[in-house]
Amino acid sequence: MAEGPRWREGAVVLTDIHADAIKQIDVRGGVVTTLVELDSAPISTGFLSDGSLLISSLTAQRVWRYDDGALDTYADLSGISEYDWGDIVVDSQDRVYIANQGISYPRKMPEHIDSRIYLLSGADGPREVASGFLYANGLAITPDGSHLIVAESFGHRLWRLPIHENGGLGARTLVAEFTDAARPDGICCDAEGAVWSANATGREVVRCAIDGSVTDRISTGTDLAIGCILGGADGRDLYLTTAPTAAREAARELRGSALWRVRVQIPAGGRP
């Protein structure tokens, strides 16, 4: 199942979570290359300014750094949470925000979900910078670098949090609220600061303007909408990842996850 697409030098890099691998897709020829295989459900990636690749995992309790064929531990997350880890996004100062989901779906589903955001910065250990989400999922940073956008899957909302000088986060404000049928998953921003949101169970990818209005909708048919990223030579190619199911064994059997490309008007902005 293709998760967390990222644009990098003519290719889309993503996690194939149920194959336990990071893959790169050359968009010019469609050639798929496996960059690295892991032993525990990689779910998200991000690039540092030196070009090295960070990888988060649902269950490994760490963030890996992959560079020039070598894989090592970038951050140790052990002892922080009993629940699964999720999306990461890297800012312009190489500070890394990572979501702890507050659940381990479907193994551990607490009655009261308290999903949190942590900051990884230099030699400092993980620092909690936000809490109280109903499953914090996709993360993105606005084009001016001033705000973190959080997709709250079980809350059916997108939130905007100001980023302080020290990397901490301020009080959240609502960007958009969806129906109960739509669970926002992966997200990205465009140059106008609007947010593209892959609404997994809503089976569509939508563009939410700064005022919260939905300006565009892209149906993914019967498949779940998993992730999205803007890329291409002019930044106007929207790449979507879809899957017929999120269940691990069924996904391994079906192998039906796909990468789509849709042309849009407003180019890429922000991070990832």
Binding site listing for a divalent metal cation: 3, 137, 185
Q: Is the peptide bond before 272 cis (omega within 30 degrees of 0)?
A: yes
Cβ atoms of 237 and 221 within 8 Å: the answer is no
Note the maximum CA span of the chain: 47
Matching residue, tokens 């909408």: 225
Residues annotated within a binding site: 3, 137, 185
Which strands, in side-by-side order, build the sheet including 85-90? 85-90, 96-100, 115-120, 127-133
d(CA 91, CA 102) in angstroms, rounded, equals 23
- Pairing verdict, β 184-189 and 42-47: unpaired
15-35 residues labelled b (16+ CB within 10 A) or e (exposed): bbbbbeebbbbebeeeeeeee
Give the residue numbers marked as catalytic. 185
Burial, 82: exposed, middle or buried (Cβ in 10 Å; 0-12, 13-18, 19+)?
exposed
